[in-house]
């Protein structure tokens, strides 16, 4: 297992990494970045925890086991965003507010369905990568055990 | 520039094809990674225009945003495919205890013969019961 | 999962479906007509006309007793085979799918839709027959059923397309309006009839039905009475207006039907296995229906419809009887059974009523079925009446053999207790046969309605007792007398039947099927052997022909001016250097070094390309490329850590050896690289430089409230691509988690 310093540093780095990830997501519409990169960055932060702290401790202290499930919820969410316009007679994936209309903003974040779609991508990618990391870690433990 | 892009893509794809012919399954996956890279590069190079990054406001020529979006999608899908491939490789290893394609082929052929034999035995049994 | 939930669900589905369909039918039917793919002329056209009502009511109505029976049957069945009760939901799900596809088939008014449901029933029956999947016989029987019905289903499709080619419509009502007697219609009708005959297991396709008996009893009961086999005659009834246009087709139906009745009757007399007797009886009974459709006319078609309903009720009960008897005694051969009437009175009584129905004894609803048969046959002439008589005698004989063999005589085996839920369905169905024998009006009404769409006109179907000496009654009396005679000589008759059956086995169509299958199997084995000998050979086999195709393309397209070197300025120097670097590293990755080195080299290629993207003015792509490259490298290392070091080392040695492939691999790599180079160069030289699309997209981005044009494209303008992409990621997640877990995959 890794030294105390790396463990503490890894723990401390998690919050900033997540903040960076959220920033990439939120600023995605104005600057470089999108849901996918944000998701991978956040997942890398969690992967760092796995590497330094070990699977069991990470999964005991952080709710990461929920993330793969969240991924599928996010996929459903993206589908919902895609399909809801159909009920109004619009083509699939018509976003609202429509082109040209005013958008409420909170800082750099614009409140619109396109952003919700991107957020779904974020959660899905985060969940997928964490799920894959979890699967590899478990397979490794099983291999060690035998 | 066109020539440079084409040369680079050709070298990447050629190296990938070479690796994909190796006996080692992990090298086959590596070859596929290289071929995917070649494809992504081609996609990026096929943009109509080159210039500034497509983030508003821009002045002058901008780089074609459509191919960028397509390359992004291709990159992500490539990632998913490679993850799946790697876990398949691991699965093959746990099933056969080898990553050598020659040995796997032998194993597969043996397995096919076994299934055939099994089917033939079943037929014989069914025949015997039918009489 | 609660064990009662799945059967209760399908049972509720069947019950609710039955009530809803009945209500709809009584209130005059319903119709749904939605354009589904208008450019292809496909419609989702479902209509509850009389024919649809009859088959849909059968499919749901017969399902109720079958599901009740299965509820008690299945746990026992699974326990006997040492399987987990967790396999139950699958069974009910499949039965539900079978029922739904059958109802859909009954309602479909569009040939393509019909074909869809047709294949769906084939798939459902395949999975159900092979439900005991550890049993090789069950698997082979299922495959046989699937092959025979699905290959002939192609004939249905071809017939459909022939009609479409001629009349430009898939809609049946429209076809009936415009079609006139012609060769096209005859050929199409013949193809469709072929599919129907195979589905209804008529000669020469009958062999699959006998084999299919290995399925669990509820499946056999359902498959024989209301689904699958009934689908064949349903199709004949559905497209009857087209068949009617060609007298030759009707004559063919008469021949096929008669042959089936005869072969089925003889085989049913010769079999010892309970379910086999019933299977051949089914096949013979559907022969009646086909025969009647062939006779045609008002009385023929009306009688056919009447026959189908009575048979569904009675045959279902008989199969359940066989299941209950086997459950009680553990035996399933007539020679091992006997004298069960005292031990199982309800089953005996119920099945007596049903056997009498199939054998057309008076006081049961089956009597009218035979009266109608004789009437239709008499209308065509004495020859046909004689045929009908012969078959009726055979039917009576094998039904008598079945029932008396089971329930009369000396008891030969101990009969254990049987759950009430397995007895009750038999009793209820038997009671229905008897009550309808006295009050046949409901059966006649539905048959009358069902005959209407086949003739496109209202048809009277009369079911009542005439107490006089008319020809039908005389024929019936003759049947009873001759049937009793045959049954009395029952020692000699099965022996003769047995000999005929043996002969059929030796020369019959099943032989051709087996031989054909074996030949195909041999061919595929040879191809497979060729293929699995070497994976790299397989890869080469893909690369080589595609290379040849590309080379041909180059030969055939003019190359003058097709290749441009492109502009180059000093500012592009970093880009070119980076590309060169990426190419060099890629070549380095092919060196036979350790795996970790290889992974890191690959990562370097990716990062170099990310720099290229950044220099191209694509920071978004560069960011994602860096991230993807990182994750892929980490994942690679993770998988490397899962594989023992010795294995990796031996792999490296094997890579270094290069025995026999010393020149081949580099040559293939070179050719592949060169082809890609030429291809990409040609492609890139052709992209126009106007950038019109780029400008338009840039103008659109503010409309999507985004400054980052790429994100606007991904999340808004081309968001459907992204939706597909994240679906791929989710599927990959599922696959990876499943694959990395040790043990069985499912």
List CB contacts (< 8 A) between B82 and chain A: none
- The residue whose two tokens read 């991924």 is A71
CB–CB of C730 and A125 under 8 A? no
Q: Which residue of C534, C621, C647 is in closest CB contact with B44?
A: C621
Nearest to B49 among C652, C685, C691 (CB): C691
Residues 6+ apart with CB under 8 A from B48: B64, C687, C688, C689, C690, C691, C692, C693, C694
**CA-based nearest residue to C140, from C51, C64, C210, C233:** C210
Measured between CA atoms, how close is C690 to chain B, in angstroms?
Answer: 7
Give the number of residues written for chain B.
Answer: 131
Q: Please check whether residue C661 touches B, CB under 8 A.
A: yes
Chain B nearest-CA residue for A128: B80
Q: Count chain A–chain B contacts defined by CB atoms under 8 A.
A: 13
The DSSP output letter for C468 is S
| Secondary element (H or E) of residue C31 | strand C31-37
Cα–Cα distance for residue pair C198/C195, rounded to 1 Å: 5
The alpha carbon of residue A130 is apart from the nearest alpha carbon of chain B, in Å, by 12
Contacts of A29 in chain C (CB under 8 A): 705-708, 711-712, 715
Question: What pLDDT shows up at residue C135?
Answer: 80
Instruction: Say if residues C344 and C90 touch (Cβ distance below 8 Å).
Output: no
Work out the minimum CA distance from B90 to partner chain C, whole angstroms: 7
Nearest CA in chain A to B57: A30
Instruction: Look at B30 and C565 and tell me if their CB atoms are within 8 Å.
Output: no
C705, C733, C737 ranked by CB distance to A103: nearest? C705
Q: How many CB atoms lie within 10 A of CB C637?
A: 15
CATH of B2-99, one of 3.30.70, 3.40.630, 3.90.1530, 1.10.287: 1.10.287
Residue A25: the pLDDT is 86
Alpha-carbon gap, residue C632 to B81, rounded angstroms: 10
* Residue A22 CB-density burial (10 A; 0-12 exposed, 13-18 middle, 19+ buried): middle
Nearest to B83 among A30, A132, A139 (CB): A132
CB contact under 8 A, A43 and C639: no
Q: Which of B128, B9, A130 is nearest to C635 (CA)?
A: A130
Chain C: which residues have CB within 8 Å of chain A?
A: 619-620, 623-624, 627-628, 630-631, 634-635, 638-639, 641-642, 703-708, 710-712, 714-716, 719-720, 722-723, 726-727, 729-730, 732-733, 736-737, 740-742
> CB neighbours of B110 closer than 8 A, spacing ≥ 6?
none
Q: Cα(C622)–Cα(C629) distance, rounded to whole angstroms?
A: 10
| CA atoms within a 13 Å half-sphere pointing along the CA-CB vector of B78 | 27
Residue from the list B29, B72, B104 with its beta carbon closest to the beta carbon of C620: B72
Residues of chain C with pLDDT under 50: 1
pLDDT of res. C99 = 92
Query: In Å, what is the CA distance from C316 to each residue of A51, C303, C496, C652, C695?
Result: 63, 20, 29, 65, 70
Kindly report the nearest CA distance between residue B55 and chain A, in angstroms. 7
| Residue spans per domain, chain B | 2-99, 101-131
Closest CB from B20, B91, B112 relative to C532: B112
Rounded to 10 degrees, what is the CA torsion of C245, C251, C254, C257? -80
Q: CA end-to-end span of chain A, whole Å? A: 20
CB distance C605 to B34 below 8 Å: yes
| Cβ-based neighbour number of residue C695 at 10 Å | 15
Minimal C-alpha gap between C706 and chain A (Å): 5
Which of B76, B84, B86, B89 should we substitute to test contact with A (largest number of A Cβ atoms within 10 Å)? B76
Label residue C60 left, alpha or beta by phi (over 0 means left) and psi (-120 to 50 means alpha).
alpha
Give the whole-angstrom CA distance, residue B129 versus residue B127.
5
Where in chain A are the domains?
4-145
Phi, psi for residue C36 in degrees, rounded to 5:
-110, -55
Question: CB distance A136–C639 less than 8 Å?
Answer: yes
Distance in angstroms (rounded) separating the CA atoms of residues C413 and C411: 6
Of B42, B69, B122, Cβ closest to residue C680: B42
C722 touches chain B (CB under 8 A): yes
Contact A33 C720 (CB under 8 A): no
When pLDDT is averaged across residues B43-69 and rounded to a whole number, the result is: 81
Nearest CB among A30, A114, A124 relative to C715 is that of A114
Give the pLDDT confidence score for residue C191 in this predicted structure: 93
* Of C623, C620, C617, C604, residue with least CA distance to C575: C617
d(CA A118, CA A39): 10
Q: How far apart are CA C273 and CA C268, in angstroms?
A: 10
- Answer yes or no: do B64 and C589 touch at CB < 8 A: no
Output the pTM of the full model: 0.68
C-chain residues near A25 (CB < 8 A): none
CA-nearest of C375, C269, C281 to C319 is C281
Kindly write down the DSSP assignment for every residue of A94-122, as one continuous string.
--SS-TTS---EETTEE-SHHHHHHHHHH
Beta bridge partners of C37: C42
Measure the CA angle with vertex C403, ends C402 and C404; round to 5°.
100
Residue with the two structure tokens 């081949």: C664
Distance CA B42, CA B35 (A): 11
CB A114 within 8 A of CB A29: yes
**pLDDT at position B131, please?**
46
**pLDDT of res. C137:** 82
Give the separation between CA C460 and CA C444, rounded to whole angstroms: 9
Extents of the domains making up chain C = 1-245, 248-490, 694-746
Are the Cβ atoms of C739 and B46 closer than 8 angstroms?
A: no
Q: Which two tokens stand for residue C51?
A: 């024919």
Q: What digits encode the pLDDT tens for the residues A83-128?
A: 888 777 777 777 777 776 777 777 666 778 888 888 999 999 999 9
Query: Residue C157: what pLDDT?
Result: 94
Contact C164, C170 (CB under 8 A): yes
Quick one: pLDDT at residue C622? 92
Burial (Cβ within 10 Å: 0-12, 13-18, ≥19) of residue C347: buried
Closest chain C C-alpha to B53 CA, distance in angstroms:
4
ipTM (interface predicted TM): 0.91
In the prediction, which pLDDT does C309 show? 87
Between CA B85 and CA C705 the distance in angstroms is 38
Tokens read off for C675: 């082809």
Which of C736, C740, C744 to mutate to test binding with chain B, by most B CBs within 10 Å of its CB?
C736
C-alpha distance from residue C239 to each of A9, C58, C243, C307 (Å)? 77, 19, 7, 18
Q: In angstroms, rounded to a whole number, what is the distance separating the alpha carbons of residues C551 and C554?
A: 5
d(CA C56, CA C238): 13
Contacts of B57 in chain C (CB under 8 A): 707
């Amino acid at each position: 297992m890794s030294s105390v310093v790396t463990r503490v540093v890894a723990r401390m780095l998690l919050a900033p990494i997540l903040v960076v990830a959220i920033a990439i997501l939120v600023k995605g519409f104005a600057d470089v970045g999108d849901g996918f990169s944000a998701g991978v960055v956040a997942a890398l932060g969690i992967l760092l925890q796995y590497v330094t702290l070990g699977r069991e401790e990470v999964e005991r202290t952080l709710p990461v086991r929920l993330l793969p499930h969240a991924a599928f919820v996010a996929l459903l969410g993206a589908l919902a965003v895609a399909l809801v316009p159909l009920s109004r007679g619009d083509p699939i994936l018509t976003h609202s507010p429509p082109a040209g209309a005013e958008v409420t903003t909170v800082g750099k974040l614009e409140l619109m369905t396109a952003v919700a779609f991107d957020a779904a991508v974020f959660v899905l990618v985060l969940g997928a990568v964490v799920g894959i990391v979890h699967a590899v870690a478990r397979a490794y433990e099983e291999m060690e055990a035998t | 520039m066109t020539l440079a892009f084409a040369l680079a893509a050709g070298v990447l794809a050629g190296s990938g094809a070479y690796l994909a012919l190796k006996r080692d399954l992990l090298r086959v996956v590596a070859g596929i990674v290289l071929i995917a890279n070649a494809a992504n590069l081609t996609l990026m190079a096929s943009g109509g225009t080159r210039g500034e990054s497509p983030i508003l406001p821009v002045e002058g020529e901008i780089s074609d945003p459509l191919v960028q979006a397509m390359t992004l999608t291709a990159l992500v899908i490539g990632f998913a495919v490679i993850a799946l491939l790697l876990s398949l490789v691991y699965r093959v290893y746990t099933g056969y205890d080898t990553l050598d394609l020659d040995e796997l082929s032998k194993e597969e052929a043996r397995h096919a013969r076994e299934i055939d034999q099994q089917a033939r035995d079943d037929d014989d049994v069914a025949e015997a019961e039918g009489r | 999962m609660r064990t009662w939930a799945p059967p209760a669900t399908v049972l509720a589905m069947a019950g609710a479906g039955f009530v809803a369909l009945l209500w709809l039918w009584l209130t005059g039917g319903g119709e749904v007509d939605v354009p589904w793919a208008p450019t292809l002329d496909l419609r989702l056209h479902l209509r509850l006309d009389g024919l649809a009502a009859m088959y849909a009511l059968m499919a749901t109505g017969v399902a109720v007793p079958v599901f009740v029976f299965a509820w008690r049957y299945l746990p026992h069945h699974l326990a006997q085979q040492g399987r987990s009760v967790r396999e139950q939901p699958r069974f009910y799900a499949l039965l539900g799918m079978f029922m739904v596809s059958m109802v859909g088939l009954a309602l479909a008014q569009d040939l393509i839709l019909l074909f869809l449901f047709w294949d769906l029933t084939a798939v459902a029956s395949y999975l159900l027959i092979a439900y005991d999947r550890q049993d090789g016989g069950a698997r082979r029987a299922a495959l046989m059923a699937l092959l025979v019905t699905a290959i002939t289903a192609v004939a249905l499709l071809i017939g459909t397309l022939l009609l479409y080619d001629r009349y430009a419509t898939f809609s049946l009502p429209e076809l009936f309006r415009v079609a006139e007697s012609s060769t096209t219609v005859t050929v199409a009708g013949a193809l469709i009839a072929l599919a129907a005959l195979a589905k209804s297991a008529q000669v020469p396709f009958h062999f699959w039905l006998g084999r299919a008996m290995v399925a669990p009893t509820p499946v056999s009961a359902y498959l024989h009475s209301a689904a699958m086999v009934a689908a064949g005659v349903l199709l004949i009834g559905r497209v009857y207006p087209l068949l009617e246009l060609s007298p030759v087709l009707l004559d063919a139906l008469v021949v096929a039907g008669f042959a089936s009745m005869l072969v089925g009757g003889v085989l049913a007399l010769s079999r010892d296995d309970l379910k086999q007797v019933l299977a051949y009886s089914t096949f013979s009974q559907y022969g009646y229906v086909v025969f009647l459709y062939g006779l045609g006319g008002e009385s023929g078609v009306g009688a056919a419809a009447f026959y189908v309903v009575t048979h569904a009720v009675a045959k279902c009960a008989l199969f359940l009887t066989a299941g209950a008897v086997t459950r009680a005694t553990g035996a399933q051969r007539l020679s091992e059974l006997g004298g069960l009437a005292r031990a199982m009175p309800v089953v005996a009584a119920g099945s007596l009523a049903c056997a009498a129905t199939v054998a057309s004894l008076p006081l049961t609803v089956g009597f009218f079925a035979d009266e109608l048969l004789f009437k239709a046959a008499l209308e065509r002439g004495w020859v046909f009446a004689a045929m009908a008589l012969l078959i009726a005698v055979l039917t009576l004989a094998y039904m008598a053999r079945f029932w008396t063999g089971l329930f009369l005589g000396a008891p030969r085996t101990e009969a254990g207790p049987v759950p009430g839920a397995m007895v009750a369905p038999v009793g209820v169905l038997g009671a229905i046969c008897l009550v309808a024998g006295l009050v046949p009006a409901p059966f006649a009404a539905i048959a009358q309605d069902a005959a209407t769409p086949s003739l496109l006109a209202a048809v009277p179907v009369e079911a009542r007792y005439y107490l006089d000496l008319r020809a039908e009654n005389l024929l019936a009396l003759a049947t009873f007398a001759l049937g009793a005679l045959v049954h009395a000589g029952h020692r000699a008759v099965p022996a003769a039947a047995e000999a005929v059956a043996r002969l059929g086995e030796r020369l019959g169509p099943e032989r051709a099927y087996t031989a054909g299958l074996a030949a195909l199997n041999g061919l595929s084995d040879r191809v497979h052997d060729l293929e699995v000998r070497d994976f790299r050979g397989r890869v080469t086999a893909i690369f080589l022909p595609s290379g040849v195709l590309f080379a041909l393309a180059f030969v055939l397209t003019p190359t003058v001016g097709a290749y441009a070197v492109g502009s180059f300025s000093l500012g592009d120097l970093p880009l070119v250097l980076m590309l060169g670097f990426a190419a060099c590293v890629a070549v380095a990755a092919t060196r036979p070094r350790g795996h970790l080195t290889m992974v890191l080299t690959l990562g370097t290629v990716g990062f170099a390309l990310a720099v290229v993207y950044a220099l191209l003015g694509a920071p978004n792509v560069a960011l994602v490329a860096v991230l993807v490259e990182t994750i892929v490298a980490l994942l690679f290392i993770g998988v490397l850590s899962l594989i023992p070091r010795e294995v990796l080392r031996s792999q490296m040695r094997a890579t270094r050896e290069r025995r026999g492939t010393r020149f081949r691999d580099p040559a293939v790599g070179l050719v592949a690289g060169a082809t890609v180079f030429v291809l990409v160069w040609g492609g890139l030289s052709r992209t126009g430089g106007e950038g019109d699309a780029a400008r338009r997209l840039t103008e659109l981005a503010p409309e999507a409230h985004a400054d980052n044009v790429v994100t606007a494209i991904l999340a808004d303008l081309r968001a459907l691509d992204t939706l597909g992409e994240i679906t791929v990621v989710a599927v990959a997640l599922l696959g990876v988690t499943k694959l990395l877990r040790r043990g069985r995959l499912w």
